[in-house]
Structure 1
Amino acid sequence: MGPEVFLATEEQVQELLDNISKKTEELKNVAEELHRTGSTSEVEKCIASFNKCYTDFVTKFPNQSVSSLQGRLTYDIFSALPLDDKFWNDGLYFHSKAPWAVDPDVRAGISCVLVLSRIQEEFQLIAQELARAVGWAISHHAHLVEYIAYLQKRYDLLSKKDENGNRLSGVDEERLVPFDCVDGMDLGGLNRRLKIKLVQQELYTRIDEHEVLVKEWSEDIVWLWSMCQPLPNKPHIKQWHDLINRIRGRKVRSDSGVGIDETLEDTVIEAGALDGDEEDASDDLVDEVN
C-alpha cells in the first residue's frame, strides 16, 4: 500500500488544477479589462480625494497625529506601499468608529482568528506529509518482507536434491530457478545459493533498521493522526497499528529463535569467508563457493 491511499484521487487533483487554470484566466481577463479602461486614473481620483480629506482634517485638527504618511500621497507611493503598512490597517481610514477598527480586544480577536486560520493551514500541510510518511513506512516494510520471502523461496528450490540425494546440476538449477538480478551480482565467485543468503541477510538488516524507525515514530504518528487527519482518513490508522503488531510478532519470533536464519552465518564461517582462512574450510563448501 502506497501513500496515495491517504491523498486525493487523480480526478480530484485534475479538478483542482482545472479550477486553478480557470480562475487564473478569469483574473487575467479582469486585469486586461482594468488596463483597457484606464484604472490608473480611477485610482488617482481616489488618491486625490484622500489627500483633500486628509488636508482638511489636519487643518481642522492640527494637533492630532493621524498618520505616518509624510507629504501628499501619490500614485507611485501608493502602489509601492507594503501590505503591512499602517495605511492599510489604521482605523483612521475606514469606519473608524466600528468596534473591529478601534476596540483593542476586538482587534486582538481578529488577529487570533487569523493566527488560527494559519495554524489550520499548517495542520493541513502536516496531514499531507504525515499521510505520505505513513504510506511509505507501510509499503516499504511490505516490500522488504515480500522480497525476503521471494529469496527464501528461490533458496529452497535451489537446495533441492535429486533422487540420489545429490545436488542439482547447473542446467537443472537454471531450469528450475531462472536467473534474476541477484544471480547477476558480482560477489567474489559465490554460487547462487550463497548470493541469495548474502542479499537476504542484508535485507534482514534493513528491515530491522526500518522497524526500529517505525517504533520510534509510532507514538508521534498516532497523536498527529488523531489531530491532523480529516475524518474520512482517520480509520486508515488501523493499517499503522497492523504494521506495529506485525513488527511485534516478528520480534517475538526472533527472540524465541523461530524464523531466525543462521544458515548464512554458519555457511560463511565454515567456508572461511569471514576471516579469510579458506585452508581450513571443508572441500565440499569450497567447491560450492567456487
Structure 2
Amino acid sequence: MNFATAVFHSYVHDWPCQLQFNPRYNVGWGLTDGEGLKRLWSYLSSLVSPLRYATRNHRIIAINHRSLFHNGLGIENLVLTLKRKMIHAVATKVESERAVYRILQAQNPHQSGEKYTEDFLQAQWQQQRHFEINIKTADREKQEQQAQFYERDEALKTLASSAHSDPMYTNLKLQEIQHLRKLQDEEAEKLGSFFADSKDGQRNPEKEKALGLLWSAKCALHKCAVKIQALGRRRKTVVKVLNTFCNRRKDYLTKYAPDQLGLPENRAITYDEFTKLQLDDPFWNDAYLSFSKDPWAVDPTVQTGIHALLRMDRAKEELVQLTNELRRCVSWGIHLRNRLKHCINQYTCDVNLQNQLQESLGQVSYATRKILSDELESAQKEHESLLLTWQPAVEDVLALGAIPRSTLPPEWFALVELLRQNSLVNEPTGVHVDLLLEQTVLENQDSDGESTKEDEDVTPSGVDHVPPEDDDTA
C-alpha cells in the first residue's frame, strides 16, 4: 500500500523535477494540479490588509467566519464542482484517446513490420525516466553553471560589438572584454562538458556552446510558462524570452541538424500558441539533451505518444476518483439526513435518552426537549433542501455516461423522489401575494435613512462575495 501527500504542484521547476514530482507524470494522482492549498490562501488573503493592525482574537474570529462561509459554500457547490471536474476528465480522456489511436495506426520504424503499441510507448517512458532520473544532482548544478558561463560570454560578445565614439576608449574596452572572455572560456573548460555527446569521441566546443545556450533559453521559457499558468500576465517579458529561444533553436538546427529544421515541432512559436501550451506538453521534453539514441529521445512521434498515453491514464484515474467522490457525497447526504431524523425521534419519544439527560444535566423538561427537536427539524429541512439542489447536477453527471446509474446507492433516488413529493405537498399557497402586499406597503413608507444604492452591489441571494473558482488543467 502506498501513501502520498499532495505537497508538489504541477508548476515545478524544470524537466528533471517534472519527471519526478509532476502529478501528471505519476500514477494515482488523476488530473489534479496540487494547487488547492494556494487557492485557499488566495481566498483568505483578502483579510491580510484589514487585519494588519487587529488583535489576535479579532484575526482568529475573522478567519473562522470566512472559513465557515468557505466550507458552507463548498458543500453547497460540491456536486457542481464534481460535475465540472467530470466534464474536464471526459474531454481529456476523449482527446487523448484520439491522439493515442492515431499513433497506434502508424508503422513503428523502431520495430520492423509492426505498429506502435501502448506497451512500446510505456516501455519507452520507463526508459526515459530511468535514464534522466539517474543523472546526479551535482552534474545538473554544474550543467546550469556552465550554461550561465555561455550566457555571460554572449553578453560580452554583444558588448564588444557595440560602437563607441571614442576609439581609444573602444580599444581599451575591447581588450578588457577579450580578457574576460578568455577567463570565461577557461572557467567553462574547468567545469568539463555537460553538453557534449559522450558517445562521440571528438568534441565540438561551438556545438556544445550552442546547445548550452539553447538549453538555457528553454529553462527561461519554462519559467515564463509557469508564471503565465499561475498569474496570467508578463507578456512583454515572455515575448523577449520566446524570441531568444526560437532564434537559438533555429541557429543550432541550421548548423548541426539541418534535416530537422523543417519539422513541424521545430517551427517558430507565436505568443498566442505559447500561452496555450500545457505544462505537460511534449514541447517541454528535454530528451534532445540526453544524447541518447533511443526512440524516446530522437522520435517526436514517440514523445507525443508517451505524453498522450500518460494524459489518458491520468484522465481514467480522475474518472475513478470522481466516481468514488460522488458516491461518498450522496451517501453522506443520506446518512446525515437519517441521523437527524433519528435524533428528532429520540428527543421526543426515547425514554432512555431522558434518563441519560437527567443523570448528566439534571431535570430536563419536555419543553426543553421540544425546542431541541424543533432545532433539529429546522436543520433537517435545510439539509433536505440542499439534497434537492444537488439532484440536477447528479442527473447531469449521469447523463455524461461516464458513471453508471447503479454506482450510486438506490436510497439516494428514493430519498430525492420522496423529498420532491413532500415539497410539492407542503408548498405554501398565497405566499407570493403576501410578499407582493408587503413590498407595496414598504414602498409607500418613508425612507428609514439607509442608502438604497449600497444594496445594489449585493447579489440577489444576499451574498456579497463569491470566492474564486479553482482550476484543474493540471
TM-score tier by shorter-chain length is 0.3 to 0.5
TM-score by length of 1: 0.45
Higher relative contact order (CA 8 A, sep 6+): 2
Q: Which structure's CA Rg is the greater one?
A: 1
TM-score by length of 2: 0.29
